Amino acid sequence: MTMSSPLRVVAIQQHCTPDKQESLATSERLIRQAAQEGAQLVVLQELHATQYFCQTEDTSIFELAEPIPGPTSNRLSQIAGELGIVLVGSIFERRMNGVYHNTAVVFERDGSLVGIYRKMHIPDDPGFYEKFYFTPGDATFNDGASGFSPIQTSVGKLGVLVCWDQWYPEAARLMALAGADMLIYPTAIGWDMNDDEAERSRQLEAWVTVQRGHAVANNLPVIAPNRIGTEPDPSGSSDGIRFWGNSFICGPQGEFLARADDTTEQVLVADIDTQRSESVRRIWPYLRDRRIDAYGDILKRVRD
């Protein structure tokens, strides 16, 4: 990382509404608040311009998708350039007729689009029917870069992943091996309204723990913004989802630097020591001690 230490980062946790412009206005208001608090890097949650529409399968929802560049990316670009911040946003991308992605977009301080990441792991679970809407991201791009390649910015190499990707150690490790300075997980995750308190606690703690584990295993900070609020199932076939918030930022040993609650819109601020990953890797050299000669079976779906 070329930035001097410390780096002020922000994870934004917000409500979303059925009105796209209203949700974007909320994002913009909170981004501006983050800039006022000295943010150099601001990260928005997954699909922050809309409610989480994947609770049901509805072809009319594809009307929400946009190309890149397009209205939402142009608006985020303008905000990043005006405020002089690096900004990570989220777009339901229309790549072509019939091909849509869940895409993170990264803008530099001058507003230029410096990279995109198309969500690689796509879930298909009750209330999270994402395979209906999203094509998985490309394993490689035209320039030969891997789908798990960090995006170079003025604040460092950002290992941007999206939501369901956060459960996969392979994605985090590949980003680390490609030189990521931090891991970033824009998220939309919550509870089934029928889950009891014990189950809710288990799910939340699993979500926090696995991402802190990626921080520890790769000696990298993690930024994980998640949405809040209860959003109804448009089909009426379920009681909807209560998004659990709890956005957090942690350091390269999994230590919490900042953590949000489960109900409040927040501009979550933390100062990351950009030299700490180097220091930690010198005493916990996991990457040095990997047995790459013995890992061939990881490429198999099931080990025989």
Known active-site residue 57? no
**Active site residue: 108, 163, 231, 250, which one?**
163
Known active-site residue 119? yes
Known active-site residue 250? no
**Active site residue: 46, 108, 130, 231, which one?**
46
**Active site residue: 54, 93, 108, 119, which one?**
119
Alpha carbons 222 and 235: distance in angstroms, whole number: 35
Known catalytic residues?
46, 119, 163
